[in-house]
Amino acid sequence: MTAPAGAKSDLRSRLAVCLVFVVLGGTQGGWMARIPAIRDQVGVDTAEWGLLSSSSAAGDLVAIVLITLLIGRVSTRLLSLLAATLVLLNAPVLAGASSVPALILGLTAWGVGATFLATPVNALAVAVERTHGRPLMSKFHASYSIGVLAGGVLGTLAAATGVSPGIQMAASSGVLGALLLYLGPHLPNEEAPRREDRRPLRDRFTPQLILLATIAFLGSFVEGAASQWSSVYTADYLNEGAALGAATYTSFSVAILACRLFGDRFVARLGRRTFLRASLLTVALGVTSVVTHPTLWLALTGFTIIGLGIACVLPAAIALAGRQPGVPAGEGVSVITIGQWPGFLLAGPAVGVLAGVTDLRVALVALIGAAVGAAVLTRWVVVPNGG
């Protein structure tokens, strides 16, 4: 028996959205795995690289302004395809950079493309959720995590076999681009409203969306800090070496992927508000175990618990924002993008400054405050009908 045409269409739509998340994750993972080689191509040292890598923040800011203006005025499918195309075209150019100006240009373009893509693809994920009538957001974000992992593995293999970063990223962009050509037309098509029906920008900043954006900021702060400092905590603070430091970050990352693969089941049973609160309290438990007893095994266990807790905080906040009454999904998601971006941006430097004043173990206590504060805020979250 063949599947009904509608079921096939829904499956292709879901796969198309998953693919766009993979595009975002795969290019990021492939790029990050080749940073040492790209740094050597450009001819800069570690300190200079750290300064130059901040160029992407300028692109992020440009993208946030653009997407805030365009979302709700241009088709989300079109915005997703344009941004995904920019990401794929820029990836080999960025990876092949051999001069400082080329690197800055590539990083800025990456910031524009990746941040611009985040809003419309999450809006499309909300549309697919509505069509299927059940939580799917965590699995879409798992697609991103799978992309990061796959990109990292491919980058590692390319480095081991002597393939240059530019050729590696050109090959992966070619494959992903071909898949996008095939599945792109199956992305949900949410047309922009007519000019007379458009809402003023200020009207999208409702109390609920501001609340969800604040939770997203705090959650992103935790995720960004744990991502950047987990390996350093084990390698340097606990003096366990680079290999075990990398193992700590890996356990955190694998926990995020595992939770995103199965998180939708818990959302369906608990509801998004309860699930959100439980996730944030789990984060606080994980950080507490890390900072209370500074040992290797508690660091590995604690950052794994943090990963399990933080994995679905942003997907849950996005899903709620995309279902706000009277606010188109894309506009709701754009408010979350505005809220969460500074969290990732500030997390690393903030913890670094605190660690400089005190030490890294004490600095990580700030993550407990962020997680508990966000958990308290969930008390005022209103779950829309069908959300």
Mean of pLDDT values over 277-296: 96
pLDDT at 1: 42
CA 202, CA 115: separation in Å to the nearest integer? 21
What pLDDT band is residue 2 in, cutting at 50, 70 and 90? very low
pLDDT at 198: 62
Q: Looking up tokens 């992103």, which residue turns up? A: 220
CA 374, CA 370: separation in Å to the nearest integer? 6
pLDDT at 194: 60
CA 116, CA 64: separation in Å to the nearest integer? 7
* Identity of the residue numbered 245: G
CA 342 to chain centre: 13
Please answer whether residues 309 and 285 qualify as being in contact, where contact means their C-beta atoms are separated by less than 8 angstroms.
yes
φ, ψ for residue 386, nearest 5 deg: 80, 5
For residue 305, pLDDT over 90 is answered with yes
For residue 4, pLDDT over 70 is answered with no
DSSP state of 44: -
Q: Which two tokens stand for residue 278?
A: 């439980």
CA 348, CA 358: separation in Å to the nearest integer? 15
Instruction: Name the residue among 171, 164, 124 with its Cα closest to residue 20.
Output: 124
pLDDT at 192: 60
What pLDDT band is residue 132 in, cutting at 50, 70 and 90? confident
Among 53-67, 105-119, 291-305, which stretch is predicted with the lowest mean pLDDT? 53-67
pLDDT at 181: 96
Mean of pLDDT values over 152-168: 90
What pLDDT band is residue 6 in, cutting at 50, 70 and 90? low
Mean of pLDDT values over 230-238: 90
Angstrom distances, CA of residue 334 to CA of 66, 261, 327? 11, 24, 11
Please answer whether residues 59 and 111 qualify as being in contact, where contact means their C-beta atoms are separated by less than 8 angstroms.
yes
Element (H, E) at 133: none
CA 24, CA 113: separation in Å to the nearest integer? 9
Among 43-52, 133-142, 232-241, which stretch is predicted with the lowest mean pLDDT? 43-52
pLDDT at 189: 79
Return the exposure string of 269-294: e unless at least 16 CB atoms fall within 10 Å of the residue's CB, then b: eeebbebbbebbbbbbbbbbbbbeeb
**DSSP symbols for 161-197:** TT--HHHHHHHHHHHHHHHHHHHGGGS---PPPPGGG
Domains of the chain: 5-191 (1.20.1250.20), 204-380 (1.20.1250.20)
Model pLDDT for residues 186-214, shown as the tens digit of each residue: 999 766 656 555 667 777 899 999 999 99
Model pLDDT for residues 38-87, shown as the tens digit of each residue: 888 998 876 687 778 778 888 999 999 999 999 888 899 999 999 999 99
Among 33-47, 75-89, 122-136, 372-386, which stretch is predicted with the lowest mean pLDDT? 33-47
pLDDT at 7: 63
Q: Compute the mean pLDDT over every residue in the chain, rounded to the nearest whole number.
A: 90
For residue 386, pLDDT over 70 is answered with no
Mean of pLDDT values over 226-235: 89
- Please give the share of the chain, as a percent, with pLDDT higher than 70: 94
Ramachandran assignment for 164, one of left (phi > 0), alpha (psi -120 to 50 degrees), beta (any other): beta
- Please give the share of the chain, as a percent, with pLDDT higher than 90: 66
pLDDT at 40: 87
CA 205 to chain centre: 22
**DSSP symbols for 214-282:** HHHHHHHHHHHHHHHHHHHIIIIIS---HHHHHHHHHHHHHHHHHHHHHHHHHHHHH-HHHHHHHHHHH
Instruction: Name the residue among 33, 26, 21, 381 with its Cα closest to residue 208.
Output: 381
pLDDT at 5: 54
**DSSP symbols for 308-355:** HHHTTHHHHHHHHHTT-TTS-HHHHHHHHHHHHHHHHHHHHHHHHHHH
